Structure 1
Amino acid sequence: MSVFANRLPITAKVLIIRQLLWGAAFYGVYVLLTKYFLNELNYSEADTIMMLGAFGAVGPVFSAVGGFLADRYIGAFRAVHIGYSIYALGFLLLGVGASLVNIPLSIMAIALIGYARGLSATCPTVLLSNSFSDEHREDFQKGLTVNYSLNNLGSFTARYLFPFFIAAIAYQGNFLLSFTLMCCNLVMFWIFRKQLRAVGNHHDQQPLSIKVWMMFIAVSLTMLGLVFWVFSNLTEGKYLLYTLGAAAILYFITLIIRAPAVYKYRMCSVLVMLFIMICFYFYYGQMSTSMNLYAINLMGDRVLGFIPVMPESSAAFNPLWCFIMGGPMIFIYTWLEKKGISPSIPTKFAFAFVFSGMAFALLATSTQYIGNDGKFSANWILMVHFFQSVAELIVGALGVGFIIEMVPKSVSAFAMGLRAVTLSLSGILAAVISTKIALPKDIELTTEVINNVYTGYFTNLALAAFAMFFVTLILSRLIKRLIARSEAIACQEASLQPA
């Protein structure tokens, strides 16, 4: 690992450290929002689920817009730098809103955070990709894995520790801590701005006209207004998110129609992959909605019998396992390749659904082991996240690498935004469906209530995941044929070129 680290360009090192700081800042806030809205702002369980679903969906669905602006107008480096400045402002306002227990100010703060995520989410991967020359593309894939692992390290640390900090610094102190972490990123970006700008796209290499800046400000204010409206009108807002996600996919289809023949089939394979990813990330979205509420209501406060854990920190087990299992997964892939077994990325995705099915089957089983204290052991959630993290490791880095290698560089940021759109559409869908297990605040959690509400819900999710295994296997064959057709066209065009 140290030899590989020495080979990393300085821009790649900066971007990977950025991911660690961002993961801690963003997920430190994310883990607190459920109880913040339930207890501090007095939201119901159903409204809290929808708020968390919208918060998880808004940033990704606007990532396509952010990627489009980066590709066509402002540049990838500027998109990240401006986005992180807005992140810092959002965390600062959230801290002020928490100190005043002010709902409109809190909603405005998370609207800023959601917009910042949409503007900046796709471009760090583009900058990281551009940091490596064509002859070192294998280092880019390894860099993605390291980047993903450090994101999970930052995410786990913040998700586990921030709830414990509540007793000492309250919600506003935690939100201001995230503000400080994001300011560290901004300082680092300022120090290395020349190197980072150099690996941006051509818009980063030249000043922007007043017309472009005015257009960007107008679009930004419009997006902020839409995000604020979504959070203030959750019932109607979800339809706006559906519409924006569908519009981004339709725009991608128009790009496929206009693309050169060699890219048409590759981009069609991305379109099929997007459907698979929407289905998978529906299960990922359950972590911040149904699984989170289940843990808050019924999970014990000890892991392995002696490690303290806050119920709202249950989601911290996911990045912990992702960080631990990253190396073993690479070893398994290498071992399989030496044995001559090299399944395609879509085929690997099919097995991800098997692991998700196992995770939710365990979750359903845990409902039958409620102790005399009315709690189930946190060890169940620890194991559930083990299986779900294996599934996520299969889909996460591989999905990013697949998309960025299948599309032209001129639309790479937008294409990465489409990957985020799958997170958005599946996240809001997960929130809408998870409201089925929302309970009144004063209800008594009897065995009958637990079986009727939680057991059946998690069992149905497990069965649907196992069904998706077979659907994805069929679609993987289609993707394989599309890529083969693209390669045949590339070979044909190469043969027609003059020597």
Structure 2
Amino acid sequence: MTSPSMLDNFKQPKPFYMIFFIEMWERFGYYGVQALLSLYFVKALGMSEDQSFGTTAAFMALAFALISVGGFIGDRVLGAKRTMVLGAAVLATGYFLLAYSVDHQDFVYIALGTICIGNGLFKANPSSLLSKCYAEGDPKLDGAFTLYYMSINIGSFLATAFVPAVHEHYGWSVAYLVCGIGLVCAILNYYACRSWVAHIASEAGGASPGFVKYAIVIIGTAIGAFVAAFLIQNLSIAHWTLVVIGVSVVAYYFYEVARDDTGYRAKMIVAFILMLVGVVFFVLYAQMPMSLNFFAINNVEHNILGYSINPVSFQALNPFWIVVMSPVLVFFYSHFGSQGKDLSMPFKFAVGMFLCSFAFLVLPLGAHYANSQGIVSSNWIILSYFLQSVGELMISGLGLSMVAKLVPQRLMGLVMGMWFLTSAVSAVIGGYISSMTAAPKGVTDPLQTLPLYSDVFLQIGVASFVIAIITLMAAPILTRYINADVPVGEPEAAIA
């Protein structure tokens, strides 16, 4: 029987559970759409595969890039709770419009633009709200954000398993309607349990915004949806827009660093350095739906434990391993944290990067043991997804916790959005790296494609291993800055 002390490692404040299920339902809707989107472009709209991939990449980049804007609105204008509910409502509208676009294709880009704006409004604010549920230095914070990250992957796993089956049996429209219903469930979840977070609010959330602020945000949301729709149709302009957003957010971040007088300056610089490590991780993460997916299709046996599967379904291993391993890591974080023995955030990022490196290094090893037809045992890709998923929990899964610890509350939503902006930047870089694995046109022989994948995966593994070593070497210094509140640039002796 499990002892009470062990159960205590998993206990969280009551508001946590409401936020957990809101995030789960929202991600169910988003990943349900994402699972079908490229296929929808090709099968229903007649796009080429190249055009489909480019449009999907632009959609994903904008959806992540706009999260900083939603975080700012949550911090300074409406408050996190109001912005979160508005974002969920806009997302539901976008999914219903996407269902409508199946028979009225002129609406497809408006639907996608609406989803981008809704995701931007929603995504930073549940995590910002969650960070306010814990006192500074609470050892349960890492565990809370790991469990919160697990909610994202439960939503992802359910969506990728269920929504494609709905499409197969009932068509595109019903599948997208199901995604919209997921957001309706998220909104109902909030209103049923909103009393649990009634006492938690930012300065903006604790005051009434007034008609003018509401009107500005709603009108801006409508205009933003049309602008996003235009950008998704014009990829080069979308990429430049991403550059402008990224540079603007980083410039504003360092403006806030320079003017900070609350002792957070050094911590905010450490947070930025760890965000750069996050960019590297998300470049590796972007390989899952691209190079790793095609490697599974072309060079991996299509079965798990003797059961035949669609090779695209190997991607479901990522949320599966995350759901399985999240409670394990939560236990260790809370157990050792309560004893003052937990690893610091920089060391966790370094360990996570080593695991992600090994995830790619095992694939060339597996290629060495491929059979005479150039087919690799599925056990190697199962191992690779396991290593990368645990690494993901220690980097992406703790990224939100890192922001919550190192950034002042007045900037929480904005910097949560900045963390998600790393995904947008990484999607572009990851696409370029993935293109290096593309076989010449007409080449499908596994014996010809295997050396190509093996060589690129080896390069990815070695490069990320070097970055992991650099992160590990820098971890002691970064940890001192986190713990000491000493401005960066002072002699090391001052913070020893």
- Shorter chain as denominator, the TM-score bin is 0.7 to 0.9
Distance 1:447 1:309, change over 3 A: closer
What is the identity, as a one-letter code, of the residue corresponding to 1:20? M
Q: Secondary structure at the match of 1:137?
A: coil
CA deviations on 1:196-234 (whole Å, 9 max, x unpaired) are 454232333333233212321343244323422332122
Tell me what 1:401 maps to. 401
Find the aligned partners of 1:378 and 1:52 in 2 and give their Cα distance. Answer: 28
Aligned equivalent of 1:81, options 65, 82, 85: 85
Find the aligned partners of 2:173 and 2:298 in 1 and give their Cα distance. Answer: 24
Tell me what 1:456 maps to. 455
Matches within 5 A, 1:115-264: 115-132=117-134, 134=135, 137-260=138-261, 262-264=263-265
Contact 2:287–2:434 (Cα < 8 Å) also in 1: yes
**Pair 1:55-2:59 in alignment:** yes
Q: Secondary structure at the match of 2:24?
A: helix
Distance 1:299 1:197, change over 3 A: farther
CA deviations on 1:338-380 (whole Å, 9 max, x unpaired) are 9986432112211222211221123345556777888655443
Distance 1:362 1:40, change over 3 A: farther
Find the aligned partners of 2:301 and 2:171 in 1 and give their Cα distance. Answer: 22
Distance 1:375 1:36, change over 3 A: farther
Distance 1:164 1:296, change over 3 A: farther
* Offset, 1:32: 2.1
* Offset, 1:170: 2.6
Q: Secondary structure at the match of 1:122?
A: helix
Matches within 5 A, 1:51-450: 51-97=55-101, 99-100=102-103, 102=105, 104-132=106-134, 134=135, 137-260=138-261, 262-296=263-297, 299-306=300-307, 308-333=308-333, 342-366=342-366, 376-438=376-438, 443-447=442-446, 449-450=448-449
What is the identity, as a one-letter code, of the residue corresponding to 1:450? T
Tell me what 1:495 maps to. none
Tell me what 2:30 maps to. 26
* Offset, 1:140: 4.2
Find the aligned partners of 1:205 and 1:482 in 2 and give their Cα distance. Answer: 32
Find the aligned partners of 1:163 and 1:370 in 2 and give their Cα distance. Answer: 31
Find the aligned partners of 2:206 and 2:99 in 1 and give their Cα distance. Answer: 36
Contact 2:145–2:398 (Cα < 8 Å) also in 1: no
Deviates more, 1:119-128 or 1:449-458: 449-458
What is the identity, as a one-letter code, of the residue corresponding to 1:108? I
* Offset, 1:409: 0.9
What is the identity, as a one-letter code, of the residue corresponding to 1:110? L
Contact 2:142–2:333 (Cα < 8 Å) also in 1: no
Contact 1:53–1:430 (Cα < 8 Å) also in 2: no
Runs of at least 5 residues in structure 1 that lack an aligned partner in the other structure: 490-499
* Offset, 1:60: 2.0
* Offset, 1:253: 0.3
Determine what percentage of the aligned residue pairs are the same residue. 24
Contact 1:404–1:415 (Cα < 8 Å) also in 2: no
Contact 2:68–2:415 (Cα < 8 Å) also in 1: yes
Tell me what 2:494 maps to. none
Alignment TM-score, normalising by the size of structure 2: 0.87
Find the aligned partners of 2:448 and 2:358 in 1 and give their Cα distance. Answer: 23
Distance 1:91 1:376, change over 3 A: farther
Q: Secondary structure at the match of 1:41?
A: coil
* Offset, 1:396: 2.7
Find the aligned partners of 2:323 and 2:478 in 1 and give their Cα distance. Answer: 30
Contact 2:373–2:446 (Cα < 8 Å) also in 1: no
Find the aligned partners of 1:48 and 1:439 in 2 and give their Cα distance. Answer: 18
What is the identity, as a one-letter code, of the residue corresponding to 2:90? I
Find the aligned partners of 2:54 and 2:435 in 1 and give their Cα distance. Answer: 8
Q: Secondary structure at the match of 1:121?
A: helix
Tell me what 2:50 maps to. 46
Distance 1:472 1:195, change over 3 A: same
Find the aligned partners of 1:439 and 1:39 in 2 and give their Cα distance. Answer: 23
Find the aligned partners of 1:4 and 1:463 in 2 and give their Cα distance. Answer: 40
Q: Secondary structure at the match of 2:208?
A: coil
CA deviations on 1:165-216 (whole Å, 9 max, x unpaired) are 4321233322211111111111222333454454232333333233212321
Find the aligned partners of 1:120 and 1:91 in 2 and give their Cα distance. Answer: 14
Contact 1:198–1:205 (Cα < 8 Å) also in 2: no
Equivalent pairs counted in the alignment come to 484
Tell me what 1:496 maps to. none
Find the aligned partners of 2:403 and 2:111 in 1 and give their Cα distance. Answer: 32
What is the identity, as a one-letter code, of the residue corresponding to 1:454? Y
Q: Secondary structure at the match of 2:159?
A: helix
Find the aligned partners of 1:315 and 1:220 in 2 and give their Cα distance. Answer: 33
* Offset, 1:257: 0.7
CA deviations on 1:380-421 (whole Å, 9 max, x unpaired) are 332221010010011133222121111111111111111111
Which structure shows the higher helix fraction?
1
Contact 1:50–1:435 (Cα < 8 Å) also in 2: no
Alignment TM-score, normalising by the size of structure 1: 0.87
Q: Secondary structure at the match of 2:264?
A: helix
Distance 1:310 1:94, change over 3 A: farther
Contact 2:265–2:487 (Cα < 8 Å) also in 1: no
Find the aligned partners of 1:280 and 1:445 in 2 and give their Cα distance. Answer: 29
Find the aligned partners of 1:300 and 1:169 in 2 and give their Cα distance. Answer: 30
Q: Secondary structure at the match of 2:485?
A: helix
* Offset, 1:487: 5.7
Distance 1:485 1:136, change over 3 A: closer
